[in-house]
Amino acid sequence: MPIRLAERWPEVGSDRLLSECVPPPRFAGVRFETYRPDEGEPSQGEALAVLIERGGVLAEPRRERSLWARLRGAAEAGPEKPGFYLDGGFGVGKTHLLASLWHVSAGPKMYCTFVELTNLVGALGMRQAVEVLSAYRLICIDEFELDDPGDTVLISRLLGQLVAGGVQLAATSNTLPGRLGEGRFQATDFLREIQGLAAHFDVRRIDGPDYRHRGLPVAPDPWSDAQVEKAAEERPDASCDHFVDLYHHLAELHPSKYGALLDGVQAVGILDLRELTDENVALRLVVLADRMYDRDIPLNTSGVPLDRMFPADMLKGGYRKKYLRALSRLIALANVGMDR
C-alpha cells in the first residue's frame, strides 16, 4: 500500500532542526576534488580556486581571538570580509562547492538552507538563536533569498550579531546580495538591512548552463494515473497522492516539517498535476521540491507536464528564480523516476 503524504503529521523540534544542519544526503560525499569546472566557463574554476584557499584557512583549528579583536568584533584571521557569497544560475555547482567548503572546514560548523535557518530562528527565538549559533565557527547557507520584510529584518539582525561574534559565513544564491528582495516586496524600504547584509560578503559570480539538463529534454512526458499508481504499489516505501490533496496538506504544515514529511519515502508519485494559480501554493511546492532534491527522491507524475506547472505570469514575477530552480530540480528527479 503506497504511503499517503497527505495523511502524515510530523512533529519537528528545535533539537532535530539543529541536528539536521549538515549537507543533505545528495551532497554528503562531494568534495572540491569531485567538482568538475566547465573549461568554457572560467568563473567556475576561479570560484573553485578561491574556495579551496578559504577552505585551507578554515581547515586549521580555531584560534582564540585576543580581547582586542573580540571587543572590535573582528572576524578571526583570514579574508577581510567574514562571508563568501556565490551568485549564479541553476545547476552550475554552487551547492557542490558550498558543501565541499563545509566538509573541509574544522568545526564547529553548520550547514542549512536559508529557509531552514529562518525556521530555526523561529523555533528558538532570536536571543537563543544568537547564543546557540555563535558557537559555530562557520555557517554555510544555501539558497540565500529574501521573500518578505520579516525575513529581511530577522536575518539582518541575526547575521550582524553572528559576524560581530567572529562567525564566518558562506552562502549561495541566484541573486546578488544588494538586489535581494527585488520584485517580492518594497525592498527599497529595507535598503539599510539589505546593504548591511551585502557588506558581510565577498561576492563571486559563477556562470554556466544547468548541468542537470545538458542534453536532456525540457521535461519528460507525464504518465497516466494508472502508471503512477502502479509504480507506487510496486516500489518499496513509495508515496502516491492526488495533487490537490497534497497541496492542501502542505498548507496545514509549517515548511520546517516538509523534510520530516518525507522520512523513509523512497519515491514520490503525484496524480493529476495541474497548472498553479495561487502563489502561496507555488511557494510551498518549491520548498517540497528542495527537500525532495536534497534526498534524491525520484518523482512520477500524471496530469500536466512539469514545465507547465508554473504559468507564464509566475515565471515573470518576483519569485521567478525560485520557480525555475524548482523546475530544474523536479525535472531532474522525474527523469530519474522514469528510468526506475
State how far the Cα of 17 lies from the Cα of 4, in Å rounded to an integer: 23
Domain C-terminal end among 182, 207, 232: 207
The pLDDT score that the predictor gives to residue 74 is: 46
Domain C-terminal end among 181, 207, 233: 207
**Residue 8: inside a domain, yes or no?**
no
**Residue 12: inside a domain, yes or no?**
no
CB 84 within 8 A of CB 102: no
**What is the CATH number for 195?**
3.40.50.300
Long-range contacts, 49-53 (Cβ 8 Å, 24+): 50/84, 50/204, 51/84, 51/97, 51/100, 51/101
Q: Which of 20-29, 82-91, 292-301, 310-319 has the lowest mean pLDDT?
A: 82-91
**Residue 153: inside a domain, yes or no?**
yes
The interaxial angle of helices 279-294 and 320-339, nearest 10 deg, is 50
The confidence band for 252, taking pLDDT boundaries of 50, 70 and 90, is very high
Q: What tens digit of pLDDT does each residue of 112-130 get?
A: 998 889 888 988 899 999 9
Q: What is the pTM of this model?
A: 0.78
Q: Is 183 a residue whose pLDDT tops 70?
A: no
Three-state SS annotation for the chain: CCECHHHCCCCCCHHHHHHCCCCCHHHCCCCHHHCCCCCCCHHHHHHHHHHHHHHHHHCCCCCCCCHHHHHHCCCCCCCCCCEEEEEECCCCCHHHHHHHHHHHCCCCEEEEEHHHHHHHHHHHCHHHHHHHHCCCCEEEEECCCCCCHHHHHHHHHHHHHHHHCCCEEEEEECCCHHHCCCCCCCHHHHHHHHHHHHCCEEEEEECCCCHHHCCCCCCCCCECHHHHHHHHHHCCCEEEEEHHHHHHHHHCCCHHHHHHHCCCCCEEEEEEECCCCCHHHHHHHHHHHHHHHHCCCCEEEEECCHHHCCCHHHHCCCCHHHHHHHHHHHHHHHHHHHHC
**Residue 146: inside a domain, yes or no?**
yes
Mean pLDDT of 12-23: 89
Total number of domains constituting the chain: 2
State how far the Cα of 274 lies from the Cα of 213, in Å rounded to an integer: 23
Domain C-terminal end among 189, 207, 225: 207
Same domain? For 248 and 330 the reply is: yes
The confidence band for 216, taking pLDDT boundaries of 50, 70 and 90, is very low
**Residue 106: inside a domain, yes or no?**
yes
Same domain? For 116 and 195 the reply is: yes
Q: What tens digit of pLDDT does each residue of 256-299 get?
A: 899 999 999 999 999 999 999 999 999 999 999 999 998 999 99
Give the domain range for residue 96: 31-207
Q: What tens digit of pLDDT does each residue of 147-174 get?
A: 666 777 888 889 999 999 999 999 998 7
Residue 287 cell numbers, joined: 520548498
Same domain? For 220 and 240 the reply is: yes
The pLDDT score that the predictor gives to residue 324 is: 87
Same domain? For 203 and 220 the reply is: no
Mean pLDDT of 130-149: 87
Same domain? For 40 and 175 the reply is: yes
The pLDDT score that the predictor gives to residue 194 is: 56
**Residue 203: inside a domain, yes or no?**
yes
Same domain? For 260 and 286 the reply is: yes
The confidence band for 184, taking pLDDT boundaries of 50, 70 and 90, is very low
Q: Is 340 a residue whose pLDDT tops 80?
A: no
